[in-house]
């Protein structure tokens, strides 16, 4: 597995990372033993970059990752995130207050059972707290040795630049795939100008590009995508019909559409690391094989036209309000 160095000072990580959210509560039921087997096989194949968050599985995702990495900690780069927490009404809210940042970090260290976090992200920007205050608290965690690198997730270009002025941001984590290319407008150029890496989340469009979900009814009742506009019955049918050019490219490479989608992200630059999420070793192997696919400029251009045609917002109304724009 190739490595990429992101940010300044650099953090060296595998060119493909493993997103761990699906092991908890994202896209249907996950088997614990298989989840751990996926993490072990990823490590054996040279993936060293694992992405989790304190909110995934209400902390359970960090516990699972910590358990899977027991005895192999030195081979892993752990990214986790803080920022979402439950309020007194049982709803999620965003908190970026300095004291909370420090408490959240200690709690993540305990759950992961590690001495330090390699890359600590603010999951969403708290619009009520100046980013300088939150970034300042994150920088203190670096000085205290609890965290090695810091970054922001789903932040605007302006917020990224302000945070970077407080302490170097090693990476920004944003959604980036064939169906979600909004960051190309200002977030990605800002990251490139400032020497910040991009961790591309949901590189398979939350499974849309894997074509496994054919109807909304295929989704389990607790599947997160039940509430996503792109998976509404009508939008889903239209979006699946858009995948034909991708399927044609896939046939030429004796590959699957998901592999082509991942290859496309991998070819967008040496500063971009996709974190594909999967609960199975079968899909992990396919995603690993995608790192070897080289798309021609024509194929990149044809596949790249998908984003402009996809139907439905990438977030539902509730989660759109958490965005920093
Ligand atoms: N910062 C943020 O706000 C944020 C938001 C969302 C996600 N993330 C991070 O990004 C990671 C990845 O994103 P994601 O999981 O949302 O979406 P994703 O990686 O785009 O897609 C995951 C979906 O694709 C399916 N899949 C995986 N490999 C496949 C293959 N080879 N062929 C067909 N289908 C395949 C998975 O099903 P199976 O499980 O059955 O393989 C799952 O349903 C997450 O795990 C999380 O760590 C961060």
Domain ranges in the chain are 3-320
CA 88 to ligand 1 centroid distance, Å:
30
Its CATH architecture, for the domain 3-320, is Alpha-Beta Barrel (3.20)
Of 27, 56, 120, 176, the active-site residue reads 56
What is the three-class DSSP state of 269?
Answer: coil
Q: How far is the CA of 324 from the centre of ligand 1 (A)?
A: 22
- Per-residue pLDDT of 193-245, as tens digits, reads 999 999 999 999 999 999 788 999 889 988 999 999 999 999 999 999 999 99
How far from each other are the two terminal CA atoms of the chain, in whole angstroms? Answer: 36
56 has catalytic annotation: yes
Average pLDDT (257-272) is: 98
3-state percent breakdown (helix, strand, coil) of the chain, nearest 5: 45, 20, 35
Find where tokens 């439905």 sit. 312
Residues, the chain, total?
Answer: 325
Ligand 1 atom at minimal distance to the Cα of residue 21: 45
Q: Which of 276, 310, 322 to mutate to test the pocket of ligand 1 (most atoms within 8 A of CB)?
A: 276
Answer whether 219 contacts ligand 1 (Cβ < 6 A).
no
Pick the residue with more confidence: 167 or 29?
Answer: 167
241 vs 325, residue with greater confidence: 241
**CA dist 76 → 32, 43, 80, 272, 279 (Å):** 20, 8, 13, 18, 19
The 10s digit of each residue's pLDDT in 3-30 is: 999 999 899 999 999 999 999 979 989 9
Banded pLDDT at 270 (limits 50, 70, 90) = very high
| Cα of 118 from ligand 1 centre, angstroms | 21
The pLDDT-based confidence of 321 (bands split at 50, 70, 90) is confident
């Amino acid at each position: 597995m190739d490595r990429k160095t992101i940010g300044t000072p650099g953090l060296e990580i595998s060119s493909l990372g493993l997103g761990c959210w699906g092991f908890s509560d994202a896209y249907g039921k996950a088997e614990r033993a298989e989840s751990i087997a996926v993490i072990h096989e990823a490590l054996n194949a040279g993936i060293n970059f694992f992405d989790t968050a304190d909110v995934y599985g209400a902390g359970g995702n960090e516990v699972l990752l910590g358990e899977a990495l027991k005895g192999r900690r030195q081979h892993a780069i752990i990214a986790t995130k803080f920022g979402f927490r439950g309020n007194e009404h049982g709803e999620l809210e965003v908190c970026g207050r300095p004291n909370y940042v420090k408490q959240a970090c200690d709690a993540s260290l305990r759950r992961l059972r590690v001495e330090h976090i390699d890359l600590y992200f603010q999951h969403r920007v708290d619009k009520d707290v100046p980013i300088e205050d939150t970034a300042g608290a994150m920088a203190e965690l670096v000085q205290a040795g609890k965290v090695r690198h810091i970054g922001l997730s789903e932040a605007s270009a302006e917020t990224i630049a302000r945070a970077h002025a407080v302490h170097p941001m090693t990476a920004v984590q944003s959604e980036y795939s064939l169906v979600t290319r909004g960051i190309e407008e200002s977030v990605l150029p800002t990251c490139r100008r400032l020497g910040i890496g991009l961790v591309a989340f949901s590189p398979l469009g939350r499974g849309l590009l894997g074509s496994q979900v054919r109807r909304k009814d295929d989704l389990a009742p607790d599947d997160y995508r039940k509430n996503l506009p792109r998976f509404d019955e009508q939008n889903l049918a239209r979006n699946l019909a858009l995948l034909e050019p991708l399927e044609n490219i896939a046939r030429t490479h004796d590959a699957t559409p998901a592999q082509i989608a991942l290859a496309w992200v991998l070819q967008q630059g040496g500063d971009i690391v996709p974190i594909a999420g999967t609960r199975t070793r079968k899909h992990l192997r396919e995603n690993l094989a995608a790192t070897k696919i080289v798309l021609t400029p024509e194929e990149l251009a044809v596949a790249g036209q998908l984003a402009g045609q996809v139907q439905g917002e990438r977030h539902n109304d509730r989660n759109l309000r958490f965005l920093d724009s």
